Amino acid sequence: LTSIDGQSKVGYLYSATHINDALLPFSWYVHHVLSGALDAGLPNTYVKQIATVDMIEDSDQKRDLLERSIYQN
């Protein structure tokens, strides 16, 4: 990838090969995606779509706290 300032950047993309509509993302994961969308300055309509994704709470509270801890300063 090449950034706006002309410097090369490495990017990664995760793409599902098998989709199960019965599965929902954890709320901490949606928070990561939403935070990234806001940081990247994505359009408000896109950010609003992310914010309305159906999600579930992670029953593994340690993992939930660990994932959310990167936002605590």
Four-CA torsion 35, 37, 41, 45, nearest 10 degrees: -120
Lookup: tokens for 30: 């949606």
Per mean pLDDT, which of 1-5, 13-17, 62-66 is the most reliable? 62-66
Check residues 2 and 30 and name the one with the higher pLDDT: 30
- Interval 13-61: pLDDT, tens: 778 888 898 999 999 999 999 999 999 999 999 999 999 999 999 999 9
Global pTM value: 0.74
The closest of 28, 36, 34, 33 to 56, measured between CA atoms, is 28
pLDDT for 73: 59
Q: Residue 40 phi/psi, 5° resolution?
A: -80, -5
